[in-house]
Copies of this chain bind each other. A is one copy, B any other.
Protein backbone atom coordinates (compact mmCIF):
# COMPACT_ATOMS: atom_id res chain seq x y z
CA UNK A 1 0.00 0.00 0.00
CA UNK A 2 1.49 3.33 -1.08
CA UNK A 3 1.22 6.59 0.79
CA UNK A 4 -1.69 7.84 -1.30
CA UNK A 5 -3.80 4.83 -0.38
CA UNK A 6 -2.73 5.06 3.24
CA UNK A 7 -3.78 8.72 3.20
CA UNK A 8 -7.17 7.89 1.72
CA UNK A 9 -7.67 5.03 4.19
CA UNK A 10 -6.64 6.99 7.26
CA UNK A 11 -7.99 10.40 6.34
CA UNK A 12 -4.63 12.05 6.85
CA UNK A 13 -2.80 14.06 4.16
CA UNK A 14 0.26 12.33 2.74
CA UNK A 15 2.36 15.24 3.99
CA UNK A 16 1.21 14.60 7.52
CA UNK A 17 1.96 10.90 7.23
CA UNK A 18 5.53 11.64 6.15
CA UNK A 19 5.85 13.99 9.08
CA UNK A 20 4.59 11.32 11.47
CA UNK A 21 7.21 8.97 10.14
CA UNK A 22 9.87 11.64 10.54
CA UNK A 23 9.05 12.12 14.22
CA UNK A 24 8.85 8.39 14.80
CA UNK A 25 5.13 7.84 15.26
CA UNK A 26 5.03 5.20 12.55
CA UNK A 27 7.64 3.08 10.77
CA UNK A 28 6.35 1.94 7.40
CA UNK A 29 8.49 -0.48 5.38
CA UNK A 30 10.07 0.52 2.09
CA UNK A 31 9.65 -1.09 -1.31
CA UNK A 32 12.73 -1.69 -3.45
CA UNK A 33 11.88 1.50 -5.37
CA UNK A 34 12.04 3.55 -2.18
CA UNK A 35 8.28 3.98 -1.85
CA UNK A 36 6.84 3.63 1.62
CA UNK A 37 4.93 0.35 2.01
CA UNK A 38 2.10 0.59 4.55
CA UNK A 39 0.79 -2.56 6.17
CA UNK A 40 -2.69 -2.76 7.64
CA UNK A 41 -1.25 -2.21 11.09
CA UNK A 42 0.34 1.05 9.89
CA UNK A 43 -2.91 2.28 8.42
CA UNK A 44 -4.66 1.32 11.62
CA UNK A 45 -2.19 3.38 13.61
CA UNK A 46 -2.63 6.33 11.30
CA UNK A 47 -6.39 6.22 11.75
CA UNK A 48 -5.82 6.00 15.50
CA UNK A 49 -3.62 9.07 15.34
CA UNK A 50 -6.11 10.95 13.19
CA UNK A 51 -8.87 10.34 15.75
CA UNK A 52 -6.70 11.29 18.68
CA UNK A 53 -5.65 14.51 16.92
CA UNK A 54 -9.28 15.29 16.16
CA UNK A 55 -9.94 15.01 19.89
CA UNK A 56 -7.34 17.69 20.37
CA UNK A 57 -4.54 15.58 21.83
CA UNK A 58 -1.06 16.94 21.17
CA UNK A 59 1.39 14.92 19.13
CA UNK A 60 3.20 13.91 22.30
CA UNK A 61 -0.05 12.81 23.89
CA UNK A 62 -0.75 10.82 20.75
CA UNK A 63 2.63 9.18 21.02
CA UNK A 64 1.87 8.17 24.59
CA UNK A 65 -1.63 6.97 23.70
CA UNK A 66 -0.26 4.90 20.85
CA UNK A 67 2.28 3.39 23.22
CA UNK A 68 -0.44 2.49 25.67
CA UNK A 69 -2.58 1.13 22.89
CA UNK A 70 0.18 -1.20 21.81
CA UNK A 71 1.05 -2.25 25.34
CA UNK A 72 -1.08 -5.27 26.15
CA UNK A 73 -0.27 -4.91 29.82
CA UNK A 74 -1.27 -1.26 30.13
CA UNK A 75 -3.42 -0.01 32.98
CA UNK A 76 -6.50 1.92 31.93
CA UNK A 77 -5.75 4.42 34.67
CA UNK A 78 -2.78 5.64 32.66
CA UNK A 79 -4.99 6.31 29.67
CA UNK A 80 -7.59 7.95 31.82
CA UNK A 81 -5.05 10.21 33.47
CA UNK A 82 -3.88 11.45 30.10
CA UNK A 83 -7.41 12.07 28.92
CA UNK A 84 -8.33 13.86 32.13
CA UNK A 85 -5.34 16.15 31.86
CA UNK A 86 -6.34 16.99 28.33
CA UNK A 87 -9.90 17.58 29.43
CA UNK A 88 -8.68 19.98 32.11
CA UNK A 89 -6.67 21.86 29.54
CA UNK A 90 -9.70 22.16 27.29
CA UNK A 91 -11.75 23.41 30.22
CA UNK A 92 -9.11 26.02 30.87
CA UNK A 93 -9.14 27.19 27.30
CA UNK A 94 -12.93 27.36 27.25
CA UNK A 95 -12.92 29.42 30.42
CA UNK A 96 -10.39 31.83 28.98
CA UNK A 97 -12.30 32.19 25.77
CA UNK A 98 -15.54 32.77 27.62
CA UNK A 99 -13.93 35.46 29.68
CA UNK A 100 -12.66 37.16 26.53
CA UNK A 101 -16.00 36.70 24.93
CA UNK A 102 -17.72 38.45 27.82
CA UNK A 103 -15.48 41.49 27.70
CA UNK A 104 -15.57 41.71 23.96
CA UNK A 105 -19.29 41.36 23.67
CA UNK A 106 -19.78 44.12 26.26
CA UNK A 107 -17.57 46.38 24.22
CA UNK A 108 -19.32 45.50 20.99
CA UNK A 109 -22.73 46.27 22.41
CA UNK A 110 -21.48 49.55 23.82
CA UNK A 111 -20.27 50.66 20.40
CA UNK A 112 -22.75 52.58 18.29
CA UNK A 113 -21.27 51.28 15.05
CA UNK A 114 -22.11 54.33 13.03
CA UNK A 115 -20.24 56.99 11.03
CA UNK A 116 -19.02 58.91 14.05
CA UNK A 117 -15.51 58.43 15.38
CA UNK A 118 -16.36 58.02 19.06
CA UNK A 119 -15.85 54.38 19.99
CA UNK A 120 -15.89 52.67 23.39
CA UNK A 121 -13.85 49.79 22.03
CA UNK A 122 -10.96 52.05 21.11
CA UNK A 123 -11.35 54.03 24.32
CA UNK A 124 -10.98 50.87 26.29
CA UNK A 125 -7.94 49.72 24.34
CA UNK A 126 -6.37 53.14 24.77
CA UNK A 127 -6.98 53.52 28.48
CA UNK A 128 -7.38 50.03 29.87
CA UNK A 129 -10.17 51.29 32.10
CA UNK A 130 -12.72 48.72 33.14
CA UNK A 131 -10.29 45.99 32.23
CA UNK A 132 -10.80 42.38 33.14
CA UNK A 133 -7.71 41.57 35.11
CA UNK A 134 -8.11 37.97 34.09
CA UNK A 135 -6.77 35.64 31.53
CA UNK A 136 -3.39 35.73 30.09
CA UNK A 137 -4.57 34.82 26.65
CA UNK A 138 -1.51 32.83 25.60
CA UNK A 139 -3.39 29.56 25.64
CA UNK A 140 -6.20 31.14 23.70
CA UNK A 141 -3.86 32.35 21.02
CA UNK A 142 -2.28 28.95 20.78
CA UNK A 143 -5.62 27.25 20.30
Contact = CB atoms under 8 A, between A and B. Distances in A.
Contacts of A104: 55-56, 83, 86-87, 90
A69 B127 CA distance: 12
Contacts of A117: 71-76
A97 B94 contact: yes
Interface residues of A, number: 61
A125 B107 CA distance: 42
Q: Chain A interface mostly helix, strand, loop or mixed?
A: helix
Interface in A52-102: 52-56, 65, 68-69, 71-77, 79-81, 83-84, 86-87, 90-91, 93-94, 97-98, 100-101
Oligomer: number of copies = 2
Given A90-B97, A105-B87, A121 B53 contact: no
Nearest to A74: B117
Nearest to A80: B113
Nearest to A116: B76
B100 A56 contact: yes
A73 B65 CA distance: 56
Given A48-B125, A51-B131, A97 B97 contact: yes
